[in-house]
Amino acid sequence: MTLETRTDGNRAMAWLRNFFSAAPVRLVVLGIAFIWTLPTMGILISSLRPEDSIKASGWWTMLEHPFEAAQWTMANYARVLTTDGIGEAFINSLLVTIPSVVIPITIAAFAAYAFAWMEFPGRAVLFVLIVGLMVVPLQVTLIPLLRLYIGWDMNGTFLGVWLAHTGFGLPLAVFLLFGYISSLPAEIIESAKVDGASPFTTFTQLVLPLSVPVIASFAIFQFLWVWNDLLVALVFLGTSREVSVITARLAALVGERGEQWHVLTAGAFIAMVIPLIVFFLLQRYFVRGLTAGSVKG
């Protein structure tokens, strides 16, 4: 037996030992993932079943003959998107969510760069005050903010809910982006200064491209929070169908058609699609953006 053959055999044995030693953990993770995914699968299958089939049997019976075209239908989605107003609410949710993600990220990126690499009076105190707002309960601010909006005639407008979500998300955004931007090597910032770059140029052309992971991480947080929000939307937008978001419309459907599972599950799955797409597109940045900057040096 040659030395190369013996080395390959040792590597194979080591790989097998590592695989079987981690097998219990893998099984537990797979079991948790299966249990976590099962309700989503049930919602998806129920949303594709006719009303009579849902009333007659459970969704799992569809798995016995999954390729029978007669037991599947897209009529539920056509109904909720048109007749029940989910399509209009879906567009409203996009109109609320996208600016509510972009605005705080933009402001927080500038603020985090200033706190990390620029000197100005009161920098430490101001940073502590902003981060300290994270502990203020959201519910405490709703009534005072609503009174301001009524006085300024901003209640029931998209601008009002954009500003509300921006204010609620800004402290966390500044905290996360500051941790990442402050951990960038000082040599990079210093070299940009030596080359004559202004602070704005350094931020836009150097710091911002390097901060994509943490920006994507906060974008996931903020997008999921705003998209799934019901309380803020009800307070600042109300229940008018013209401006109601998808969560408010689903809550209304529960009261109007609580017994019609084929309608509710179709609406629920439509509400789940966009967050799933956003998470899977940005997940490669998620852990990297959250952990980067947690340890310096």
DSSP 8-class letter at 49: S
Q: What is the mean pLDDT of the chain?
A: 83
| Closest C-alpha to 57, from 42, 69, 39 | 42
> pLDDT band at residue 126, thresholds of 50, 70 and 90?
very high
pLDDT tens for residues 168-204? Answer: 999 999 998 998 898 888 888 888 888 888 888 888 8
Q: Are residues 33 and 151 in the same domain?
A: no
Q: Are residues 41 and 90 in the same domain?
A: no
Q: Are residues 247 and 190 in the same domain?
A: yes
Note whether residue 69 is domain-resident.
no
The Cβ of residue 227 has, within 10 Å, a number of other Cβ atoms equal to: 22
Could you tell me which residue, 101 or 3, shows the higher pLDDT?
101
Give kind and range of the element (H or E) at residue 251.
Answer: helix 246-256
pLDDT tens for residues 86-119? Answer: 889 999 999 999 999 999 999 999 999 999 888 8
* Distance, CA of 235 to CA of 156 (rounded, Å): 8
Residue 297 is predicted with a pLDDT of 42
Cα three-residue angle 70-74-75, rounded to 5 degrees: 100
Q: Are residues 156 and 244 in the same domain?
A: yes
pLDDT tens for residues 265-275? Answer: 888 888 888 88
Count the domains in the chain. Answer: 2
Please determine, for residue 9, whether its predicted confidence score (pLDDT) is greater than 70. no
Q: Are residues 115 and 187 in the same domain?
A: yes
Q: Please give the residue range of the domain that contains residue 273.
A: 80-291
Note whether residue 231 is domain-resident.
yes
